[in-house]
Amino acid sequence: MGALPGGAGDFAVTQRAVTAWRGTASSAGAAGDTSARSIGASPTGGSFRGVGYSLTGVCSGWESGPLASHQEPPLATSTSVRPSLTDLTRPGSARFVAFCAVAMVFMHLTIWRWIAFRRHQSLGHILSYWDAAYYTAIARDGYSGGLFAFYPAYPLTVGFLAKLLGITEVQWLGAVFSTVLFAGFLFFCFRASQREDAPEGLTPKSRLGWLFLLFSPVSYVFHSHHTESLFLLLSFLSFFFSGTRRPVWGGVFAALCALTRNQGVFVVGMSALLAAWVETAPARRVRALLIAGGLGALGILGFLTFQYVVAGTPFAFMKAQENWAHVASAGGALKTLVFGNPWQSTDPYNVLWYVAWWGFLIGAVLLARRQPALGLYALLCLLVQLLQGEFVNTFRFVAPIFPLLFFLGDGCAKRPRWLQFAAVLGLFLLNVATARHYGLGEWAY
């Protein structure tokens, strides 16, 4: 007759099984630890922890439990779980960012190429609409008359490259130049997102944060003949260096921003504020503020000097904008909020810009509560539109305010999944619509 359950023979078999199981669990634990570290997760916590650690605890309970000799050991599971492609709350990988950026550019070019084909036009003709035509004129012939309304850094740089390379199709060169700059921004921004010392709010924390920038309503300006990509890269570098305790470089890039767009004035001030904000000692805060602010102010002075040398007055840009719609008083600026200016329209497009402006403004206020310098920067960039007396440039003003777009995207990532996909769908459709309107030669800023 065989040994009874629980006898010496059965005990020996069980002991050998336990010993073998411990060896299996130890091997799985090592594999799990390696897998966990390879994806950047803690081997002792989080949803991606090594399976071996879980198995060790399970095995311990199985060995010492009252039914130890009659229980089967749990089955080993995979040491890693492939994340869902539709999980927009995860941080964006380099592959994800690159794929979405290429898809965005390809989509816009496809829309424009189809419009050019249907209208028997060239794609280069579409790349010369609206402000792009003025940048081309400056690049080819320099400044005169109403062209002084445009800041010099972008068109003069493109003009210099065109003469250096012997290129006559300036709009194509500008589009390539902007695309390269935008790729540079994405590269540096992604690298900064991997650092622990990057200022809060400077980089996105989720895929949605990236998508809110890449498919912002007028993201076509990032790869066409416009100033936004240059300003985007320069402002990011200014904030990054100021926020990582390098106020000299922060001030230098802020000065270049002041030569690129009118929003560059706000970069100068907020870059200096951010440089002081990250310091701890009062003396170092004052020093960082003065260095970043002083160097940035040289850019403002340089712009005024350039206007004086070329046009004979440092305020030539203001004279050039006399024929543009603008308010003449604080009351006129406030009337903008209620469609009170004579030139304001209440057609669907203007209502869309108006509603979007309020949404961005609320987002900027919320951002300021988390990161005062970047939030105040976004607020100033939005409020300056009131001086125009209308909101027809809302989408273009917001396009380079990357901290705001990242913040809105990351905030949306905390909402229910259905709302996340609704937001992405809405952004995509709006992005397609604005790219189409621009391709048709209609106002789409």
Q: What's the first-to-final CA gap in the chain, in angstroms? A: 91
Q: Which amino acid, 156?
A: L
Question: What mean pLDDT do residues 424-442 have?
Answer: 97
By CB atoms closer than 10 A (0-12, 13-18, 19+), residue 132 is: buried
Residues 6+ apart with CB under 8 A from 13: none
Asked whether the CA dihedral 127, 128, 134, 137 is positive or negative, the reply is: positive
Residues 6+ apart with CB under 8 A from 392: 350, 353, 443, 445
The answer to whether 273 and 373 have CB atoms below 8 angstroms apart is yes
User: What's the pLDDT score for residue 86?
Assistant: 74
* Residue 105: HSE in the Cβ half-sphere, 13 Å Cα cutoff: 15
Q: What is the mean pLDDT of the chain?
A: 86
Q: What is the pLDDT of residues 99-136, one digit of tens each?
A: 999 999 999 999 999 999 999 999 999 999 999 999 99
Q: What is the pLDDT of residues 178-212, one digit of tens each?
A: 999 999 999 999 999 999 999 999 999 999 999 99
User: What's the pLDDT score for residue 83?
Assistant: 53
Question: What mean pLDDT do residues 435-443 have?
Answer: 97
Q: What is the pLDDT of residues 412-428, one digit of tens each?
A: 999 999 999 999 999 99
User: What's the pLDDT score for residue 72?
Assistant: 41
User: Which tokens sit at 36?
Assistant: 């966990």
Residue entry with tokens 């260096």: 241
More confident residue, 408 or 65: 408
The answer to whether 39 and 72 have CB atoms below 8 angstroms apart is no
Kindly indicate the confidence band of residue 164, based on its pLDDT and cuts at 50, 70 and 90.
Answer: very high
Q: Torsions phi, psi of 260, nearest 5?
A: -110, -45
Kindly indicate the confidence band of residue 386, based on its pLDDT and cuts at 50, 70 and 90.
Answer: very high
User: What's the pLDDT score for residue 15?
Assistant: 47
Residue 74's closest CA among 46, 42, 51, 45? 51
Asked whether the CA dihedral 260, 262, 265, 270 is positive or negative, the reply is: negative
Stretch among 46-50, 182-186, 243-247 having the lowest mean pLDDT: 46-50
* Rounded-to-10 torsion of CA 333, 336, 338, 342: 110
Q: Radius of gyration of the chain from Cα atoms?
A: 29
The rounded percent of the chain whose pLDDT value lies above 70 is: 81
430-433 long-range Cβ contacts below 8 angstroms, 24+ apart: 430/217, 431/104, 431/215, 431/216, 431/217, 431/218, 431/219, 431/220, 432/107, 432/111
Kindly indicate the confidence band of residue 324, based on its pLDDT and cuts at 50, 70 and 90.
Answer: confident
Measured distance CA(300)–CA(296) in Å, rounded? 7
More confident residue, 16 or 441: 441
More confident residue, 339 or 40: 339
Helix, coil or strand: residue 415: coil
Distance of CA 104 to the CA centre of its chain: 14
> How many residues are listed for the chain in this entry?
445
By CB atoms closer than 10 A (0-12, 13-18, 19+), residue 387 is: middle
Measured distance CA(112)–CA(110) in Å, rounded? 5
Output the CA–CA distances (angstroms, integers) from residue 289 to 203, 265, 271, 283, 330, in the order listed: 22, 15, 8, 10, 30
Q: Which amino acid, 371?
A: Q
Kindly indicate the confidence band of residue 45, based on its pLDDT and cuts at 50, 70 and 90.
Answer: very low
Kindly indicate the confidence band of residue 84, based on its pLDDT and cuts at 50, 70 and 90.
Answer: low
Measured distance CA(261)–CA(243) in Å, rounded? 22
Query: What burial letters (b/e) apply to 336-363, b meaning 16+ CB within 10 Å?
Result: beeeebeebeeeeebebbbebbeebbeb
User: What's the pLDDT score for residue 89?
Assistant: 95
The packing angle between helices 153-165 and 170-193, to 10°, is 120
User: What's the pLDDT score for residue 40?
Assistant: 38
Stretch among 5-19, 136-150, 390-404 having the lowest mean pLDDT: 5-19
Q: Torsions phi, psi of 111, nearest 5?
A: -60, -45
Kindly indicate the confidence band of residue 151, based on its pLDDT and cuts at 50, 70 and 90.
Answer: very high
Q: What is the pLDDT of residues 353-380, one digit of tens each?
A: 999 999 999 999 999 999 999 999 999 9
Q: Which amino acid, 153?
A: A
Q: Please determine, for residue 294, whether its predicted confidence score (pLDDT) is greater than 50.
A: yes
User: Can you give the pTM of this predicted structure?
Assistant: 0.81
The answer to whether 251 and 291 have CB atoms below 8 angstroms apart is yes
